[in-house]
Structure 1
Amino acid sequence: MKYTELATLLKNAAEQGTANAIKEEQPVPDQLTKADAYRLYGRSNVDRWLREGLISKQQPTDTSQIFFDRSELEAVAASSNRITYLPVADR
């Protein structure tokens, strides 16, 4: 086994273990309000992700609040979505 493969396996195991420990200790909600998403990921990022269709908002019929799927937000935040930024010369 190569060093990089071992490092990747250990990193993934640590991330999974951390996620499991957090779930057991303090349940994390599956959905976040728009305010929570702004606080955690930044207003400009969340608005850009919405504009680009990378995330979708969910609005239950019984409330006026807007919610986001936490796993969807985490996936977009973890991925490299910087391709949509303008180059320095174009700003």
Structure 2
Amino acid sequence: MKYKELAMLLKNAAEQGTAKAIEEEHPIPDRLTKAEAYRLYGRSNVDRWLREGLISPLQPTNTSQIFLDRPELETIAASSNRITYLPVTDR
């Protein structure tokens, strides 16, 4: 096993362990309001992901709030989706 592969495995294990410990101590809801998503991931990122169709809002229940799927947000935030973030001249 190469050093980079081992480092990536250890990094992923640490992130998963941390997430599990936090979830056990303070459960995190599976859906976030748009305002909460803005605070966690940044307004420009969330708006860009919505505009590009990388995430989609959940069907609102009897409220006017827009909810977003937290696991979906985490997946998009962790992925490399910066191609549209770069200026056209740099793409």
**TM-score if structure 1 supplies the norm length?**
0.88
Aligned-pair CA distance for 1:5: 2.2
- Percent identity (aligned): 82
The amino acid of 2:29's aligned partner reads: P
CA–CA separation in structure 2 for the residues paired with 1:6 and 1:35: 37
Structure 1: 5+ residue stretches without partners: none
Aligned residues: 90
Q: Which residue of 1 aligns with 2:80?
A: 80
- Runs of 4+ with deviation above 6 angstroms: none
Structure possessing the higher radius of gyration over alpha carbons: 1
1:31 is aligned with what amino acid?
Answer: R
2:62 aligns with 62
Displacement, 1:86?
4.2
CA contact (8 A) 1:33 1:67 kept: yes
State the partner residue of 2:27. 27
- Shift in Å at residue 88 of structure 1? 6.4
Q: Which amino acid aligns with 1:87?
A: P
Q: Which stretches in structure 2 are left out of the alignment for 5+ residues? A: none
Tell me which moved more, 79-88 or 53-62: 79-88
Alignment of structure 1 residues 34-49 onto 2, 5 Å:
34-49=34-49
Please say which of residues 79-88 and 29-38 is displaced more in the overlay. 79-88
CA distance in 2, matches of 1:21, 1:46: 26
What's the C-alpha RMSD, in Å, of the aligned pairs?
A: 1.7
TM-score by length of 2: 0.88
- CA offsets per residue over residues 47-74 of structure 1, 9 Å max, x none? 1111100000013231111100001111
Report the AA paired with residue 24 of structure 2: E
